[in-house]
Structure 1
Amino acid sequence: MKIQQSVTSVRDQVAPGEWQQRVTLAAAYRLVARFGWDDLVFTHLSARVPGRDHHFLINPYGMTFDEITASSLVKVDLDGKKVMDSPYEINPAGFTIHSAIHASREDANCVLHVHSVNGTAVSAQKDGVLPISQQSIFVLSSLAYHDYEGVALREDEKPRLVRHLGDKNFFMLRNHGLITVADNVPDAFLFMYVFEAACMIQVRAQAGGGELIPIDPHIIATAQQQAAAVTESAGGGLAWPALLRKLDRIDPSYRD
């Protein structure tokens, strides 16, 4: 791994909006690591750079998520090619899924993809997410599935990914992992927290061996309204400042 660029050099080269997006996405990487959803260096979180250009930020390939900083994030175009000088490379294959979603959805300003243990376990179950927890109702109200086609390396898989995702915010890649899509990083992170929690609860409930109690479909139908009430219509923005305070107490170097 090459020596990291200095904070000053990167901050001086980018607009204030991009720098803020870098800090926010770096925080998401650190939080994913703190919650144990990372998979060494093999998954990705991406965010659109504010502005007219279709440019995106993604992690340097080979860094663990607890090492990511605002200045180490790599800026790329929709083809995964660097559009700003950086000593780091990215995993082109890792951007296949992200680029497909970013290109197809104007609202997809942030795409989180993880191989969390509980999420992957549920993705291997034929019935997917079950309506058995409060967390699950928020997922089920906006959930799509995509069958496993091997490691995401092929361009011809992109149209199928896009078609299966549609306008949903939660995307389960069967036998693979979880994706959340949102207009901003805090919402995408909150979605992933709820997604993984629903999967963890499901795995533990199934392990208990007792009969599971399904939630009434009518309750699931109003989940979005319930979520807005719980978060005071702030979505992920309600919890995000507290999460940043937690990170700043532990290690504020993500801001570098």
Structure 2
Amino acid sequence: MNAILKPVVSTMHPDEWKARVQLAACYRVFDMLGWAEMIYNHITVRLPDSVTGGQKQFLINPFGLHYSEVTASNLLKIDVKGNKLDDNPWPVNPAGFTVHSAIHENLPQAHCVMHTHTTAGLAVACTAGGLAQNNFYSAQLHGLVAYHDFEGITIHADEAPRLLKNIGDKPTVILRNHGLLTWAPTLPLAFVRLWTLQRACEIQMAQAALGPAIPVPVAVAEKTVADSFQWDQRFGAGQDVFDAMVRRVNRIDDSYKH
């Protein structure tokens, strides 16, 4: 299969093409940051109602392509069950979309869902204590992290109710023994949430070798969350950070735009 499909831009709604370019850029950002996992894991985005007429339709990476090969035109369009809605020849990874579909379907603000298996993220996910409240990054996530116990490879739909119960309304999730996940009403906000969680895990993993850590008091953590401007819509809610990363990608390879 050809990794690059020619987009039918003339017949595609401009809002869909915009969403495709942004999502393809995000896959390249993940690759640049070392967050890719061979051909596995996913970033999914719900298409806006202006495109779908209110139907729930999503974009996801083609199963079989590395993140560095994802482009705007070869992204798959699927429904909430993971069925393809276009003639894209690439398959969908059913294990990958099971968790994403449950979140998209049941959390109205979950426009974008991201999942990673980074070394630091998975290491923290394997610890009994979970994320430690002892550093600048984890303090910004105080009260925002949910946990879900490992139930094996996520291909069984009956896991969804338990996953959703454990998530509640928390936008960052540690999937125990598995990895990290974030969701948000925008892709940039989901990205900056994941970046913050990833950094917290990296610091925790490095700090663990140095002995006992200095805990962050709850009152200080609460203040830190309130003062974290990156969550605030007035400051772009991650848009400025994401744009900066896309500019870096563009200097390396902007083929994702096609």
The 3 A distance-change label for structure 1 pair 110 and 3 is closer
Q: CA deviation at 1:95?
A: 0.3
CA distance in 2, matches of 1:114, 1:13: 34
Q: How does 1:1-256 map to 2 (within 5 A)?
A: 1-7=1-7, 9=8, 11-51=9-49, 52-208=54-210, 210-228=211-229, 233-256=235-258
Check conservation: 1:43, 1:94, Cα contact below 8 A: yes
Distance 1:108 1:70 in 2: 21
CA distance in 2, matches of 1:168, 1:223: 17
Residue pair 2:45, 2:111 contacting (<8 A) in 1 also: yes
Q: What CA distance in whole angstroms lies between the structure 2 residues aligned with 1:137 and 1:3?
A: 41
CA distance in 1 between partners of 2:93 and 2:10 (Å): 26
Residues 114 and 191 of structure 2 are in contact (CA less than 8 Å); yes or no, is this contact kept in structure 1? Answer: yes
Maintained 8 Å contact 2:189/2:231: no
Measured against aligned partners, the alpha-carbon deviations of 1:103-129 in whole angstroms (never above 9, x if no partner) come to 011100000001011000000000100
Displacement of 1:229 in angstroms is 7.0
The whole-number CA distance in structure 1 between the counterparts of 2:74 and 2:207 is 40
Alignment check: 8 A CA contact 1:129 1:140 kept: no
Partner SS state of residue 238, structure 1: helix
Q: Which AA in structure 2 matches 1:145?
A: Y
CA distance in 2, matches of 1:49, 1:183: 12
The answer as to whether partners of 1:5 and 1:87 remain within 8 angstroms in 2 is: no
TM-score w.r.t. structure 1 length?
0.95
Deviation at residue 222 of structure 1 after TM alignment: 2.8
* 1:17 alignment partner AA: D
Shift of 1:228: 2.3
Q: Secondary structure at the match of 1:219?
A: helix
Superposed displacement of residue 68, structure 1: 0.6
Q: How many angstroms apart in 1 are the aligned matches of 2:11 and 2:145? A: 39
1:233 CA displacement: 3.0
Shift of 1:43: 0.5
Q: Distance in 2 between matches of 1:137 and 1:57?
A: 32
Q: In 2, Cα distance between the equivalents of 1:6 and 1:65?
A: 18
Number of corresponding residues: 253
Letter in 1 for 2:28: R
Q: For residue 40 of structure 2, what is the amino acid of its counterpart?
A: F
Identity across the alignment (%)? 38
Residue identity opposite 2:175 in structure 1: L
Q: Are the counterparts in 2 of residues 80 and 92 from structure 1 also a CA contact under 8 Å?
A: yes
Return closer, same or farther for 1:230/1:86 CA change in 2, 3 Å cut-off. Answer: closer
- The whole-number CA distance in structure 2 between the counterparts of 1:131 and 1:13 is 50
**Within 2, Cα distance between the matches of 1:223 and 1:160?**
30
* Whole-Å separation in 2 of the counterparts to 1:90 and 1:229: 33
How far apart are residue 12 of structure 1 and its match? 2.8
Structure 1 gap segments, 5+ residues each = none
